[in-house]
Structures are given as C-alpha cells and as structure tokens.
C-alpha cells in the first residue's frame, strides 16, 4: 500500500489506537499487521467487502476476541491482556449495536433498554424508568416501552437495540452493519440518527459497514480493509483519491474482470 493512501498524523487525538494487529485462523490470516487510529468525537467508518476482516476487527475492539499479536490501546490502555472482569468494566464505557439488534425476545422493549442500568448501576427503579423513556424518545420509539420485540419492524428493532446501547451514556459507540436488512429509506433514517447522536452527545462512533451510501453520509474518518490489511485511512476525499485500483473498483461497484484470473481478483477484493 502506498504511503499516500494513509493519513495518520501523530497529532490526531485518538481514543483507540491499533498497533500491528494479527489474527489467524489456521493457515489463513484474517488481519495481517493492521494499524489504525479512531479519532475522538468523530464517526469512523470501517469499510470493506465480505471477508475483509472488519467484523473480526470489531470483535477485537470491544474485547470479545483476542488477536494472535499486536496491541489495542483504548484511551492509552492496552486492552488485549485484560481478563473477564476488567473487560466488563471496560464495556461499561462502550455501547454496541449488533446487526440484528440482539434484543431479548422474552423482555419488553423497555426491559431490554433498562437491562444495562439494572445490571451495572444502583439507580432506583423510578430513575431507571425515566432514563429508559428518555433513551427511547431519542431513537424515535417513545411510547413503545411495553411492546415485545416480535411486534416491531426490523428498523424499530435496531432503534430499540440502539436505545439499549446508549443506556449507559457510553464514550464510544459501535455499530456492526447497521443498515443490514433495512430498506433504503429506513437505512437513511438510521444514518440521520447516528449523526444526531454524534452531535448531541459528542461521542466517538465506529461503524462497520460495506454500504457506500451510509459511508458518504456519515463518515468523518474512513478505514478501508481488504485482504486483512488497511488500504486507506483518512477522509472521504482521501478514499476517493486512493490510487489502489481495488479501492476504485470497490467504490465503482465493478465486478471481477471478464478475462484473466477472475477468482484471484475476487479473492484480493473481498479478502477470502
């Protein structure tokens, strides 16, 4: 990768810094010496095709999986050697919205949102109920406290999951493919909600996606992965100006060429 495609100024205020991260499953390297920074108070989009390593990277960032080697510094502290109790404490300062929303089907929407507050605080029940209503109002679900997840649409489930993710007022908020399974209008509304959260709470947001419309709407900072490596890190303009043809093919949604080794080309594109 050419140096012109990486924009990592030493003066950038980073809440997360990844250094030479390597993850290997058998003989396959999913992450191959990944280094990157997540700027404080900005929306960072981790972009790439299926199999490029972005979901594995996310699991490392939230402490769900340890890498084979490398370091992940969160506010200057290496989280890779932390044990279970220390990781639980770390995650109190993080919010995570998984692809499906990951709601508990046996609980009401309100009970789902209140769960982190009941598990990790000693707040009175009346205070928890107020905070739950506030968070649901923020995501456009005011009045849905007593609904069950099965009664919600896909977009509403994601909003409910987001309300739970921000229940503890996290410093860092992670999204795993937030637009997956949503129609374009609902996905656009979720993008607007992500922007609103950034502006309202000034929190650091990390979004893992392959959706180009969302990227262009929300990204302050872009990290593009292919084949387990960082190809581009910088602004949207840096991404568009990247000289690597694989980046341009991805942005233009160009398929594998008709001639030549198409299989090898596809593997280089999606990192499988």
The per-residue pLDDT for range 1-28, each reduced to its tens digit, is 444 454 444 445 899 999 999 999 988 9
Chain Cα centroid distance, residue 189: 17
What token pair was written down for 231? 């190809």
Q: Assess contact for 21 and 29: CB atoms under 8 A.
A: no
Instruction: Write the pLDDT tens digit of every residue in 40-62.
Output: 999 999 998 877 889 899 999 99
User: Residues, the chain, total?
Assistant: 272
Report helix, strand or coil for 126. helix
Q: What's the pLDDT tens digit per position in 205-217?
A: 999 998 899 999 9
The pLDDT confidence band at residue 123, using thresholds 50, 70 and 90, is: very high
Beta bridge partners of 6: 233
Three-state DSSP at 187 gives helix
pLDDT at 264: 54
Nearest to 166 by CA among 192, 129, 205: 205
Q: At 156, list the tokens.
A: 């509403």
Which bin fits 216, alpha (ψ -120 to 50), beta or left (φ > 0)?
A: alpha
At 120, phi and psi to the nearest 5?
Answer: -115, 0
Helical axes 154-165 vs 125-138, angle rounded to 10°: 130
pLDDT of 252 reads: 87
Structural domains in the chain plus CATH codes? 3-93+170-180+189-270 (3.40.50.300), 102-169 (no CATH)
β-bridge partners, 96: 174
> Left if phi > 0, otherwise alpha if psi is -120 to 50, otherwise beta: which for 188?
alpha
């Amino acid at each position: 990768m050419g140096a012109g495609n990486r924009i990592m100024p030493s003066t950038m205020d980073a809440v997360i810094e990844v250094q030479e991260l390597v993850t290997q499953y058998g003989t396959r390297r999913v992450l191959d010496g990944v280094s990157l920074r997540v700027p404080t108070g900005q929306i960072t989009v981790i972009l790439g095709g299926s199999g490029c390593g972005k979901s594995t990277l996310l699991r490392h960032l939230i402490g769900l999986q340890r890498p084979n080697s490398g370091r992940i510094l969160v506010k200057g502290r290496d989280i890779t050697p932390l044990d279970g109790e220390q990781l639980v404490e770390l995650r109190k300062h993080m919010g995570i919205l998984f692809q499906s929303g990951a709601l508990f089907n046996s609980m009401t929407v309100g009970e789902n949102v209140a769960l982190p507050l009941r598990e990790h605080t000693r707040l009175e029940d009346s205070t928890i109920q107020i905070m739950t209503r506030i968070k649901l109002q923020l995501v456009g679900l005011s009045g849905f406290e007593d609904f069950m997840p099965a009664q919600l649409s896909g977009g509403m489930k994601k909003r409910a999951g987001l309300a739970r993710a921000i229940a503890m007022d996290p410093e860092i908020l992670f999204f795993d493919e937030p637009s997956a399974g949503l129609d374009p209008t609902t996905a656009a509304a979720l993008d607007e909600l992500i922007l609103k959260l950034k502006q309202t709470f000034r929190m650091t947001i990390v979004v893992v996606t392959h959706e180009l419309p969302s990227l262009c709407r929300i990204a302050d900072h872009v990290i593009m992965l292919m084949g387990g490596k960082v190809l581009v890190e910088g602004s949207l303009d840096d991404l568009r100006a990247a000289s690597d043809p694989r980046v341009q093919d991805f942005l233009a949604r160009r398929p594998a060429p008709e001639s030549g080794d198409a299989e090898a080309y596809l593997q280089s594109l999606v990192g499988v």
